[in-house]
Amino acid sequence: MVMASKSSVGGSSSGSGGGSSSRTRVGRYELGRTLGEGTFAKVKFARNLETNENVAIKILDKEKVLKHKMIDQIKREISTMKLIRHPNVIRMFEVMASKTKIYIVMEFVTGGELFDKIARGKLREDETRRYFQQLINAVDYCHSRGVYHRDLKPENLLLDANGVLKVSDFGLSALPQQVREDGLLHTTCGTPNYVAPEVINNKGYDGAKADLWSCGVILFVLMAGFLPFEESNLVALYKKIFKADFKCPTWFSASARRLIIRILDPNPSTRITISELHTDEWFKKGFQAPVFQQEEVTLDDVNSIFNESADSSNLVVERRDERPPSAPVTMNAFELISTSQGLNLGSLFDRKMGLVKRETRFTSKCPANEIMSKIETAVGPMGFDVKKNNYKMKLYGEKSGRKGHLSIATEIFEVTPSLHMVELRKAGGDTLEFHKFYNNLSTGLKDIVWKTEDEVKQEGTNTDSK
């Protein structure tokens, strides 16, 4: 773990436009837009000011971590990410700590989620096989290091600019220390549709075999375009999983069907293993073993991010301009790149609107204050409370949905003085309910929306075809 010292921290960095484009700086990194957020953490786009490299920084609130007794879980996540050095796994570069926060600096990938591809429909079998092989390469390596992911699903599979699969989010992973005397793990976790039957059974399970089951569900979803086990009632869903009650679509090849049946075997003792998988006819086709250098990694310093004393020279300081901005944050080139897939700004808004999408954005030529006022007016009748902080808004649903109360983070960015980008991101609740919310909101915002993502995408397509 590399800790940045106080001496490497300068004042708040700023771009053009004075207070409206003030930036937060932590150590050598300039923080940008929020990429995602949860109860205990935010992930922000950032730039290394020394190398100009783009990264993602996961920011954890120490007080919340301590209050909810999550120190062990966070240590485990950091330990896991430090252990793993593989081309198909998101890389962790360094960890920093301030008096109140923990900063995990990670590789930033720009190709979006694998889930975005499924939103467009099922994948071709050869394309599916390529992604599945990369997934198995990553999972096999993790298991060889004694690490089990335990929450494998398409949302946790990202793609880089070259379309290479990267496994992310080890927040629910298990290290060998969690294996009891019986050699099994005993923590029920994961996402219901992807969880192995023995995990639900709560009698202990082999982490490697449970991960492989989840890989099998992912394989099915990629080729089918839908889940093998899906019920609105959780008890009915679990019954299907326990029986492995699913049917392969007719377009699956015979060899793919045979493999999926062997992976989605409800009996872990007879389920195919990864070593057996490597000899399978369907899996072997075009297989390429990953090429990378092994690195020795020590975990001795993981505890230090929680044990730093207040006067420690290893603590970083977060510097920012505390004055409330007179205008929204100005998007510089690096911010624009962070919203696109790859470095192609033509695909700036090109994340397909599908049922799985968890963020969306539009542009407007209206003043920022007018945009905020219109959003607030539109969401009131929909049953949402609004909290405003400068040019950011948090929308809280009054009614509880399928996964608790829906909450949406909204932020307005200035692209040019006469053009604003409005981003809406699901911060809590169900993705499908967010999708429905946005469709309803769009109706009330027609007079301020200049272009939606789809319109920008269509323009780009027309330009490319000329």
Q: Give the catalytic positions in this structure.
A: 151
- 328 C-beta neighbours (distance < 10 Å), count: 23
Spatial neighbors of 389 by CB under 8 A, at least 6 apart, are none
Find where tokens 């330990």 sit. Answer: 79
CA distance 356 to 332: 29
- 417 C-beta neighbours (distance < 10 Å), count: 10
Which residues are 424's β-sheet partners? 360, 410
CA distance 89 to 143: 13
Provide the residue type at 233 as one letter. Answer: N
Element at 41 (helix H, strand E): strand 41-48
Token pair, residue 42, equals 């935010």
Per-residue exposure over 147-167, b if at least 16 CB sit within 10 Å of its own CB, e if not: bbbbbbbbbbbbbbeeeebbb
Provide the residue type at 300 as one letter. Answer: D
6 labelled binding-site residue = no
Spatial neighbors of 307 by CB under 8 A, at least 6 apart, are none
Provide the residue type at 284 as one letter. Answer: K
Query: Could you tell me the CA-to-CA distances from 239 to 102, 200, 201, 267, 412 in Å, in that order?
Result: 41, 10, 11, 14, 45
Residue ranges for the binding site for ATP?
58
Binding site, annotated residues: 58
